[in-house]
């Protein structure tokens, strides 16, 4: 049940939505929409509120990600998706870095224009089945052989939920490589401040007029709050009851799901 003192729902002009665990549960065959979410997105758009998806999804290009969401019934365009791979490409170009990619096959087209010869960094995404023993050893050997190893991680999530259960996320593999090489990765994606700022710029709304809605207490809620946004945690996706006792992060409110969040926000408009 959401808190009924709803100061947090006032003066809102735009919403940033996490996707997996908020709009849908990912999994084989494209996953399944979370009950009420398709209609909730439709109501957000009809209300005149601005809407941007802010995802750490790195298992597909934005184009195919949006195709999947549209197939589930969500009326979303590619421009409405802020995702780590394009942000990483921007950073690689800025710093003249040539990546070795340990990412999902379906993400590779996002890096098509990037010079990958003679790598001087490793980019790690949620590689899923590509997280093999051989591929992890290869990324490790490249890093340990660099004079100053540069590891760029597309997110640092601990785990996520698919229709067939919880899966280790990119953050776990990032920690493995950090430990093996005695280095710190640079994180592109939530909860990096720069990433939320890009999403807000694309949303076209200042942080104090935006609400982030996510299922990840640290990466969605904590990250957004550090940028000056209000943030809600939904009780869907990877939400666990113990999140409500998190020692550091306290959402502005809990909601049972996206539909309930939208109900409350629209009532306050």
Contacts with a copy of itself, residue ranges (CB under 8 A): 128-129, 131-133, 136-137, 140-141, 144, 158-159, 165-169, 171-173, 175-182
Alpha-carbon distances, residue 190 vs 38, 187, 214, 216, 218 (angstroms): 23, 8, 11, 10, 9
234 forms beta bridges with 255
**Nearer residue to a copy of itself within complex by CB, 28 or 46:** 28
CB of 165 to a copy of itself, least distance (A): 6
Six-digit token string for 152? 């760029």
CA 218, CA 226: separation in Å to the nearest integer?
A: 11
CB of 107 to a copy of itself, least distance (A): 16
**Nearer residue to a copy of itself within complex by CB, 131 or 239:** 131
Chain centroid offset of residue 170 CA:
11
CA 253, CA 8: separation in Å to the nearest integer?
A: 8
Six-digit token string for 236? 């869907």
**Contact call for residues 215 and 236 (beta carbons, < 8 A):** yes
**Nearer residue to a copy of itself within complex by CB, 14 or 125:** 125
CB of 105 to a copy of itself, least distance (A): 13
CA 231, CA 225: separation in Å to the nearest integer?
A: 6
What is the residue whose two structure tokens read 């990877």?
A: 238
CB of 201 to a copy of itself, least distance (A): 30
**Nearer residue to a copy of itself within complex by CB, 30 or 159:** 159
**Nearer residue to a copy of itself within complex by CB, 1 or 134:** 134
Can you give the length of the chain in residues?
Answer: 269
CB of 240 to a copy of itself, least distance (A): 9
Alpha-carbon distances, residue 5 vs 83, 236, 253 (angstroms): 33, 22, 9
User: Please, what sign has the CA dihedral across residues 67, 166, 41, 201?
Assistant: negative
**Nearer residue to a copy of itself within complex by CB, 110 or 178:** 178
């Amino acid at each position: 049940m959401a808190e009924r003192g709803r100061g947090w729902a006032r003066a809102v002009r735009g919403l940033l939505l996490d996707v997996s665990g908020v709009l849908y549960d990912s999994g084989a065959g494209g996953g399944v929409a979370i009950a009420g979410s398709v209609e909730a997105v439709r109501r957000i758009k009809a209300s005149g509120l601005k809407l941007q998806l802010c995802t750490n999804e790195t298992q597909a290009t934005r184009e195919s990600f949006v195709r999947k969401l549209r197939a589930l019934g969500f009326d979303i365009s590619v421009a409405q998706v802020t995702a780590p791979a394009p942000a990483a490409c921007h950073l690689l170009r800025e710093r003249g870095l040539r990546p070795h990619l340990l990412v999902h096959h379906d993400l590779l087209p996002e890096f098509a224009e990037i010079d990958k010869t003679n790598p001087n960094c490793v980019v790690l995404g949620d590689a899923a089945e590509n997280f093999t023993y051989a591929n992890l050893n290869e990324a490790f050997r490249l890093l340990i052989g660099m004079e100053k190893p540069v590891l760029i991680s597309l997110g640092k999530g601990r785990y996520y939920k698919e229709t067939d259960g919880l899966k280790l996320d990119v953050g776990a593999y990032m920690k493995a490589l950090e430990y093996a090489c005695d280095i710190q990765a640079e994180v592109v994606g939530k909860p990096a401040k720069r990433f939320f700022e890009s999403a807000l710029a694309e949303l076209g709304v200042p942080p104090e007029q935006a609400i982030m809605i996510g299922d990840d207490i640290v990466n969605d809620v904590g990250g957004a709050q550090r940028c000056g946004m209000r943030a809600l945690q939904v009780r869907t996706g990877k939400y666990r009851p113990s999140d409500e006792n998190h020692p550091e992060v306290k959402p502005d409110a809990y909601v049972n799901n996206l539909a309930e969040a939208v109900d409350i926000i629209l009532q306050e408009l």
